[in-house]
Amino acid sequence: MKTEAINHIKFGVMNPEYVKALGVVKLTVPDTYNEDGYPIDGGLLDQRLGVIDPGLICKTCGARAKSCPGHFGRIELVRPAIHSEFGKTLYMILQSTCRNCNKLLLNDESIAKYGGGKPIDPDALVADGEEGATEVKSVMLKRLKDIKRCERCGTQKKKLKFSLPTYFYVDDYKLKPNEIRDMVSKVSNDDLEILGVDAENARPEWLIIDILLVPPVNVRPSITLESGERSEDELTHKLVDIMRINQRLEQNLNAGAPQIIIDDLWELLQYHVTTYFNNETSNIPPARHRSGRALKTLTQRLKGKEGRFRYNLSGKRVNYSARTVISVDPNVDIDEVGVPFAIASKLTVPFYITEWNIEHAKKMLMSTDYPAVLNVISKDGKRKRVIETNKEEILKELAAGDVMERQLVDGDIVLFNRQPSLHRMSIMAHKAKVLPGKTFRINLCVAAPYNADFDGDEMNLHVPQTLEARAEAKILMMSSHQVFSPREGNVIIGTEQDGITGAYEMTAEGNYVTKEEAVYLLALAGVYELPKEAKNGMYMARDVFSMLLPEGLNFETETKKGHVKIKDGKLVEGRLDNGTIGRGGNQLFMKIRADYGFEELKKFIYRSSKMVDAYVTLMGFSLGVKEYVNDQRLVKDRERMLNETMEKIKKLIVDYNDGKLEALVGYTLKSSLERMIIAELNLVRDMAGKDILKAKADMKENNTAMNMVSSGARGNILNVVQMMMFLGQQATISGGRINRGYATRRALPHILPGDLSPKGRGFITTSFYGGLDPIDLFMHAVGSRGSEIYKALLTARSGYLYRRLSNALQDYYVDVDYSVRDASNNLIETQYGGDMIDPMYTKINDIE
């Protein structure tokens, strides 16, 4: 069969002639199976509509279930029905044309004024100032709607009332579908074209249905329940309804029933046709299943998140993929992923046989070692599973052009993904590494771009199947090339948490390791030489670390803790912290990437993170309650600071009550007081932070909590304040202090009505270490609950924002001239970003 790629798709309305030709079977019996369990001829599951049971032969094309595409049938309605989705179109045409001369209500002169008889070009927009542009068409349509008299024959236009979806009235007389058809069929193609209608392919009379197309059984397969009972598809049910009414209407017509009965049945037929197309039509009660649930008819199959478009076409199910729980492994490189043996032995990679590699292929096929060949696909597309018994036979037939599917081996390029895929680093390419165990293993450093943790997260893995796909994945998607985020150019793959503590300590002045330790640390990173000895058999930890720096690297930067200098590949000054080895605006990584490239950077991240983790393990690092025990000095400071603040606020409140408080410029008195109080409370919180920092620095004793804060490994000083001193102000969603609950504007009955004091409004003076009293605990819960609700609400909104944005912008790409174009080749930007620079590299430029 000759195949071509789809070049374009033209839409139109089906011509009744075509419908008749397409519907190969005229269906007459409103039922499915007879008593013997066979499909009734002329019924809704007629075997000429195609077959779905294996073994049966289609009576139309003679093919079996697998290759029969299915064939349409038709129901010939004894009275026509309007296609409910096109009611508005018919109304527009009826409104715009004269019932007397059947022409457009405007004369040629007026038509020319509204842009002439040219087909409406969506780009033919008329700039219309404030409200933006309006299509010529809509202006003309409005005129046609309002016009009272035909400009050609002068006939008075009769008022036509339209009510959704299919009701048309003239002077309270309800127009019958055939009458509407008579009207619109008299309108000429030329007049329709002026209205923009593609008359050639969408004559309005075709919108009134005489012959209803019945989809093949493939579209509405019946399922057999466990009990052996057959259950029909909802669409089949709906079609049975239509046929039943159609039959009844026919009987009544033949029997010469009174007009009122005929009209009622006709109306019912229209109802069934309407709900067949769309069971959510407004003003129409939905057709229901026996259980009372609304049926899913044609429209419902297409629309929405679970509809054909979004569920089956925009997103598709794939083979060659795997999913399991993830866990960490520091011995897996940044650009590797550990794949469990059970998965690796099922996933396959195609091996394309040519005349040059056929010998190798044959050897591989016969080998009993690990990468076994699971399937062989011959040139004609036949897939054969390789089993012990047919190996020899397959070997004989093996020829160039065949494809073998072999098991996954170390080094195969695979794609690794975690949902929600919010940015491009959510899917990255890794090299497979087959490992024992049942989980995917990744390096801790690549958890951040996936936003993964290891509390049970699962991830998906895909094996690219073509050489092109593999090449693209390797060149464009390797995780080692995704160290910088295209959002702002910051580092997104770097050392985490304890590793940063390790680096911070390891690069500190005056930290030494023994020779054994140095050898251990270096060997872990794959370095087999020692730095210069510092003193009596000891090595400076910093020198050991320096061994990992790329040779000849020169780098200087300012960190929070002072100057860092790397000279000729050796760290000579300063300590590495979060800003130089972790994620964020890490200038060191940017320098390495700029001077040595991604491979060297990857090597550095992998080896250094491994070494500093090992160092912190050697050194020992633990965090306990003892870090938060207050000494006398801090207890006193806390008392004093809180007392001072409380006094100040008390005075503010007294002033306010006495009317002595002066309002801030631009605020009412009350909100001025509120702002002043909040300012004081913020001030005391910041003061507490500074006080802790100072006290701990003075004490000189090693406090691991403070250590983590200053290296940037985890936590900030605010967390320490909350643990050691006080929790501070609990906020509501609106950002203000807590002031509601009871009618007297207080949160709890233990608070005086109108109490403005910090405690009454959710300022917590106790710490996590000291413990919260019941009121404080309540206030803390108010804050937590608020943020939890806020989070839930905004996640939904943020997800929808992302969907809308990506949908609107997804076609944009950078053209050869660095301009940005959309799918229709419209110019969006003349030069991307104004400077053509990739945002991923914008921070690298800051270096020099």
Partner 1 sequence: MAKEDKNRFLVQYGEAVGTIAAQSLGEPGTQMILRTFHYAGVESTMSTSGLPRIVELVDAKKKPTTPITYIYLDKDIAKSFEKADEMIRKISEVTMSSVVRRVDENFAKGKIRLILSSQEIEAARITPKSVASKISKDFGFETKVDGRIIEIKIGTRDPKKVRSERVRIMNSVISGIDGAGKVTLRQDDKTKEFYLVAAGSDIESLIDIQGVDSTRIITNDVFAIYRLFGVEAARNSIVSELAKTLDEQRIGVSRRHLSLIADAMTARGNIKGVGRHGLSGEKGSVLARAAYEETIKHLVHAAVYGEIDHMNGVTENVLIGKQVPVGTGTVKLAIRKEDLSRTAKKK
Closer to partner 1 by Cβ: residue 252 or 719 = 719
**What is the closest distance, in whole angstroms, from the C-beta atom of residue 736 to partner 1 in the complex?**
6
Q: Cα(258)–Cα(597) distance, rounded to whole angstroms?
A: 88
Q: Cα(725)–Cα(639) distance, rounded to whole angstroms?
A: 9
Contact status: 625 vs partner 1 (CB under 8 A): no
Contact status: 368 vs partner 1 (CB under 8 A): no
Contact status: 583 vs partner 1 (CB under 8 A): no
Compute CA distances 277 → 254, 297, 649, whole Å: 28, 6, 69
**What is the closest distance, in whole angstroms, from the C-beta atom of residue 753 to partner 1 in the complex?**
23
- Residue 684 · residue 641 · CB < 8 Å: yes
Q: Which of 2, 8, 290, 535 binds partner 1 (CB under 8 A)?
A: 8
Q: Smallest Cα–Cα separation from 39: which of 21, 51, 54?
A: 51
A 10 A CB-CB count for 583 gives 22
| Residue whose structure tokens are 């605990």 | 777
Closer to partner 1 by Cβ: residue 307 or 741 = 307
DSSP letters of 533-578? Answer: --BTTBEEHHHHHHTTSPTT--EEEEETTEEEEEETTEEEES---H
Closer to partner 1 by Cβ: residue 303 or 391 = 303
Closer to partner 1 by Cβ: residue 259 or 806 = 806
Q: Cα(742)–Cα(778) distance, rounded to whole angstroms?
A: 14
Q: Which of 439, 729, 765, 767 binds partner 1 (CB under 8 A)?
A: 729
Q: Which of 18, 352, 454, 667 binds partner 1 (CB under 8 A)?
A: 667
x-marked contacts with partner 1 along 17-56 as a string, rule CB under 8 A: ----------------------------------------
Would you give the DSSP letter of residue 159?
P
Task: Spell out the long-range contacts of 754-762 with Cβ–Cβ below 8 A and sequence spacing 24 or more.
Answer: 756/653, 756/656, 756/673, 756/677, 757/646, 757/649, 757/650, 757/653, 758/645, 758/646, 758/649, 758/677, 758/681, 758/729, 761/737, 762/729, 762/730, 762/731, 762/737, 762/738
Contact status: 599 vs partner 1 (CB under 8 A): no
Sole window of 5-13, 498-506, 626-634, 638-646 interacting with partner 1 (rule: CB under 8 A): 5-13
Contact status: 304 vs partner 1 (CB under 8 A): yes
Q: Which of 181, 481, 542, 737 binds partner 1 (CB under 8 A)?
A: 737
Q: What burial class does residue 389 get, using C-beta atoms within 10 Å of its C-beta: 0-12 exposed, 13-18 middle, 19+ buried?
A: exposed
**What is the closest distance, in whole angstroms, from the C-beta atom of residue 120 to partner 1 in the complex?**
7
Q: Which of 383, 487, 650, 690 binds partner 1 (CB under 8 A)?
A: 487
Q: Which of 201, 224, 419, 554 binds partner 1 (CB under 8 A)?
A: 201
- Residue 442 · residue 332 · CB < 8 Å: yes
Amino acid at 255: A
Closer to partner 1 by Cβ: residue 248 or 303 = 303
x-marked contacts with partner 1 along 259-278 as a string, rule CB under 8 A: -------------------x
Sole window of 29-37, 396-404, 617-625, 824-832 interacting with partner 1 (rule: CB under 8 A): 824-832
Q: Cα(178)–Cα(103) distance, rounded to whole angstroms?
A: 19
Contact status: 739 vs partner 1 (CB under 8 A): no
Q: Which of 488, 509, 533, 647 binds partner 1 (CB under 8 A)?
A: 488
Q: Cα(736)–Cα(569) distance, rounded to whole angstroms?
A: 52
Closer to partner 1 by Cβ: residue 63 or 422 = 422
**What is the closest distance, in whole angstroms, from the C-beta atom of residue 213 to partner 1 in the complex?**
14
Please name every residue paired with 214 in a beta bridge, in sequence order, or none if there are none: 73
Closer to partner 1 by Cβ: residue 174 or 670 = 670
**C-alpha count within 13 angstroms, C-beta hemisphere, residue 669:** 10
H or E element at residue 281: none
**What is the closest distance, in whole angstroms, from the C-beta atom of residue 740 to partner 1 in the complex?**
15
Residues between 703 and 722 with contacts to partner 1, criterion CB under 8 A: 718
H or E element at residue 374: strand 373-377
Q: Smallest Cα–Cα separation from 27: which of 280, 221, 239?
A: 239
Contact status: 310 vs partner 1 (CB under 8 A): yes
| Residue whose structure tokens are 């006398």 | 632
**What is the closest distance, in whole angstroms, from the C-beta atom of residue 321 to partner 1 in the complex?**
17
DSSP letters of 18-36? Answer: HHHHH--EE---S-SB-TT
Q: Calculate the CA 611 to chain-centre distance.
A: 37
Q: Calculate the CA 337 to chain-centre distance.
A: 23
Residues between 85 and 144 with contacts to partner 1, criterion CB under 8 A: 85-86, 89, 120, 122, 125, 127, 130, 132-133
Burial state string for 60-97 with b = 16 or more CB within 10 A and e = fewer than 16: bbeeebeebebbbbbbebbbbbbbbbbbebbbbbbbbb
**What is the closest distance, in whole angstroms, from the C-beta atom of residue 41 to partner 1 in the complex?**
33
Size of the site for partner 1 (CB under 8 A): 108
H or E element at residue 157: none
Residues between 766 and 785 with contacts to partner 1, criterion CB under 8 A: 783
Tokens standing for 148? 């009272």
Closer to partner 1 by Cβ: residue 532 or 797 = 797
Sole window of 53-61, 226-234, 387-395, 482-490 interacting with partner 1 (rule: CB under 8 A): 482-490
Q: Cα(89)–Cα(166) distance, rounded to whole angstroms?
A: 11
**What is the closest distance, in whole angstroms, from the C-beta atom of residue 44 to partner 1 in the complex?**
24
**What is the closest distance, in whole angstroms, from the C-beta atom of residue 177 to partner 1 in the complex?**
18
Contact status: 736 vs partner 1 (CB under 8 A): yes
x-marked contacts with partner 1 along 512-551 as a string, rule CB under 8 A: ----------------------------------------
Q: Smallest Cα–Cα separation from 624: which of 708, 690, 700, 688?
A: 708
Peptide bond into 165 cis (omega under 30): yes
x-marked contacts with partner 1 along 145-164 as a string, rule CB under 8 A: --------------------
Residues between 789 and 818 with contacts to partner 1, criterion CB under 8 A: 790-791, 794-795, 797-799, 801-802, 804-816, 818
What is the distance between the terminal CA atoms of the chain, rounded to a whole angstrom?
61
| Residue whose structure tokens are 């800003």 | 579
Closer to partner 1 by Cβ: residue 18 or 818 = 818
Contact status: 364 vs partner 1 (CB under 8 A): no
Q: Smallest Cα–Cα separation from 13: which of 205, 301, 270?
A: 205
Contact status: 10 vs partner 1 (CB under 8 A): yes
Contact status: 311 vs partner 1 (CB under 8 A): no
Q: Cα(83)–Cα(566) distance, rounded to whole angstroms?
A: 76
Contact status: 354 vs partner 1 (CB under 8 A): no
Q: Which of 1, 255, 665, 743 binds partner 1 (CB under 8 A)?
A: 665
**What is the closest distance, in whole angstroms, from the C-beta atom of residue 426 to partner 1 in the complex?**
9
Sole window of 507-515, 633-641, 703-711, 734-742 interacting with partner 1 (rule: CB under 8 A): 734-742
Residues between 212 and 251 with contacts to partner 1, criterion CB under 8 A: none
x-marked contacts with partner 1 along 418-457 as a string, rule CB under 8 A: ----xxx---------------------------------
Q: Cα(836)–Cα(847) distance, rounded to whole angstroms?
A: 19
Sole window of 1-9, 73-81, 229-237, 740-748 interacting with partner 1 (rule: CB under 8 A): 1-9
x-marked contacts with partner 1 along 170-199 as a string, rule CB under 8 A: --------------------------xxx-
